Chains A and B, each alone.
Chain A
Amino acid sequence: MAEEVLAPMVGKILKIKIKPGDAVQEDDEIIVMESMKLETSVHAPCSGVVKEIKVSEGDRVEEDDVLAVIE
């Protein structure tokens, strides 16, 4: 089962801490975003393997944009 990692709010991707194929645990910090003058961590919604990353560092995203897919 695949689960999408969604952007929690509008902002910029500062750092991507995962690559396709990585194993992640639920709640791991996988992406760091910046928005409204603060850094926001994006956490893995579930445990699994990173199937796809849909953004790059520096990208601008809207709330609920799909950032990555975990399987």
Chain B
Amino acid sequence: MAPEWKDLTEKFERERERLRAGGGADLQAKEHAKGKLTARERIDLLFDPGTFEELDLFAKHIGRDYGLDKRELPADGVIIGYGEVNGRGCMVYAEDFTVVAGTFGERHGRKICKIIDMARKYGYPVVGINDSGGARVTEQMGALSQYGQLFYRHVAASGVVPQIALIMGPVAGGQAYSPALMDFIFMVDKTSSMFIAGPPLVEAVVYEKTDEQSLGGPKVHGKITGVSDGTMADDRQCLEQTRRLLSYLPLNNKDLPPYEVPEDSPDRDTSELEEIIPTDQKKLYNMRRVIDVVFDRGSFFELKKEFAQNLIIGFARLNGHVVGVVANNPMKYNGSLDYNAADKGSRFIRFCDAFNIPLINLQDVPGFLIGTRSEHNGIIRHGAKMLYAYAEATVPKITCVVRKAYAGGYLAMCSKDLGADVVFALPTAEICLMGPQGAVNILFRKEIASAQDPEKVRSEREAEFMERYVNPTYAAGLQHVDDIILPGELRRKLIRALEMTLEKDEEAPDRKHGISPV
């Protein structure tokens, strides 16, 4: 090294080391004691080794009041940069809890906004690692304004690049709306929480005593609110699963999801479905087992598993192609769609449509959940979202009726009329406007009432009705079903239909945007 460079280099290396150390070894040890990794350790696990490039390490905080002009906040408590995940580009921001509790100041916000702008401009997904005590109150309007700037950018990037939020510590106050505007959220068990006001404020203002976990821990958001897409055991698992999630996603909306050469055969016989799907219509079965058999072995990546369990959603591969799976789950509410399931499903469908991911829909739905409670929960307003999302989606849509496909539920799980490209039905399919019980009561009310043995007449009329209407042959005769297939053929038929429709080119109507029910 040239002698005049030696001093300069050493000085800069010391400076860089100092800034990279964040809040220092003692505070890092405290994070480790809580079971958390540091922001830099998280980044190392997210990216392929040696691919991360940091930006704005030298950025300085803006706050000058309350003695902050004399303090140094390394990188202003957030690390931003880019790297590769599974050999593909990705942007990141990671809040550093060791620097004034990862609080969100003006420069901190500007850094996050910058990396989201870059993600959108250059077309890469962005992963946001949240771990922050909330707004830095010493910076007031600087912080508040940057929250607004951040929300604005999430919206600008929505549907352009995938946005994934990891909750790996607290996310309190207005900042909780940042992950909410992104596409997927993972939370870490025990150490993460999300709420718009923390326990002290809740107690002071609405006089309720609570704690962080019962207010907005992973169990709350995984099961009750549906905010979270999954609870991870620890930081390491959370980052591994984020890498897996990214392996299904295109880099941006002009890209295709990554194809992987499959190990599974496209012609694999799926007759084992005969052991899973009962022909006795009153017996329940596990739809997840159907999914495991049909899609490429081990490829199903389920999201929001604990929330609205009557609908199963997730990514999978079919002969190496990424698809979005939407399937009714007869084990919960007998597969009926309620307001939460409609919310969960419609959001997922819209993500898949925005990012060129074909949809595979497995139907076993006795209808929308009915009754006073369901109506009061707004099943009309929420159920409409499923209809809207499927009708709007221009990606390939392939449906198989496994068993029940009744009334509005049949339409809401993507029938031909909602634009399905190909509809299959298994011989067990029951497709109809109204089930035999309801229909027979209307059609044969007088005959049943005047019969000597009303129950006998009722069951005879029900059997006739089933035979005539509630079967796949009737629907196929009217072209609502393209083909009736056997369980053993299901995988092969889905793959053939998917590959036939992959080049589908359907234009959405020319308008600013539709008004989706929300």
**Real complex partners, A and B?**
yes
How near does chain A come to B306, taking the closest CB pair, in angstroms?
15
- Chain A CB within 10 Å, residue with most, of B369, B371, B406: B371
How near does chain B come to A30, taking the closest CB pair, in angstroms?
16
Residues in B neighbouring A10, C-beta threshold 8 A: 369, 371, 373-374
The complex places the Cα of A10 from the Cα of B371 at a distance, in Å, of 8
B336 an interface residue at 8 Å Cβ cutoff?
A: yes
Contact A36:B369 (CB < 8 A) given known A9-B334, A10-B374:
yes
The complex places the Cα of A9 from the Cα of B366 at a distance, in Å, of 14
The answer to whether A62 and B336 touch across the interface, beta carbons within 8 angstroms, is: no
The complex places the Cα of A39 from the Cα of B330 at a distance, in Å, of 11
The answer to whether A39 and B336 touch across the interface, beta carbons within 8 angstroms, is: no
How near does chain B come to A33, taking the closest CB pair, in angstroms?
10
Number of residues from A at the complex interface, CB < 8 A: 12
B388 an interface residue at 8 Å Cβ cutoff?
A: no
A38 an interface residue at 8 Å Cβ cutoff?
A: yes
Contact A62:B334 (CB < 8 A) given known A37-B435, A37-B437:
no
How near does chain A come to B285, taking the closest CB pair, in angstroms?
12
B284 an interface residue at 8 Å Cβ cutoff?
A: yes
A59 an interface residue at 8 Å Cβ cutoff?
A: no
Residues in B neighbouring A62, C-beta threshold 8 A: 371, 373
Interface residues of A in 5-61 (CB under 8 A from B): 8-10, 35-41
How near does chain B come to A15, taking the closest CB pair, in angstroms?
13
How near does chain B come to A1, taking the closest CB pair, in angstroms?
21
* Chain B binding surface, main DSSP class: loop
Residues in A neighbouring B284, C-beta threshold 8 A: 38, 40-41
The answer to whether A36 and B333 touch across the interface, beta carbons within 8 angstroms, is: yes
Type the 1/0 row for B132-164, where 1 means its CB is closer than 8 Å to any CB of A.
000000000000000000000000000000000
The answer to whether A36 and B282 touch across the interface, beta carbons within 8 angstroms, is: no
Q: Which of A8, A38, A63 contacts B373 (CB 8 A)?
A: A63
How near does chain B come to A2, taking the closest CB pair, in angstroms?
23
Type the 1/0 row for B322-354, where 1 means its CB is closer than 8 Å to any CB of A.
000000001011111000000000000000000
B170 an interface residue at 8 Å Cβ cutoff?
A: no
The complex places the Cα of A37 from the Cα of B404 at a distance, in Å, of 10
How near does chain B come to A69, taking the closest CB pair, in angstroms?
23
How near does chain B come to A65, taking the closest CB pair, in angstroms?
11
Residues in B neighbouring A40, C-beta threshold 8 A: 284, 334
Residues in A neighbouring B487, C-beta threshold 8 A: none
The complex places the Cα of A54 from the Cα of B284 at a distance, in Å, of 26
Closest to A33 in B: B334
Closest to A39 in B: B282
B367 an interface residue at 8 Å Cβ cutoff?
A: yes
Q: Can you list 28 A-B pairs, Cβ within 8 angstroms, ordered by A? A: A8-B332, A8-B333, A9-B333, A9-B334, A9-B336, A9-B369, A10-B369, A10-B371, A36-B333, A36-B335, A36-B366, A36-B367, A37-B366, A37-B367, A37-B404, A37-B435, A37-B437, A38-B281, A38-B282, A38-B284, A38-B334, A38-B366, A39-B282, A40-B284, A40-B334, A41-B284, A62-B371, A63-B373
Q: Top 8 A-B pairs ranked by shortest CB distance? A: A36-B366, A38-B334, A36-B334, A39-B282, A10-B371, A37-B366, A36-B336, A9-B333
Instruction: Add 10 more A-B contacts to A8-B332, A38-B282 (CB < 8 A).
Output: A10-B369, A35-B333, A36-B336, A37-B367, A37-B406, A38-B284, A38-B334, A38-B366, A62-B371, A62-B373
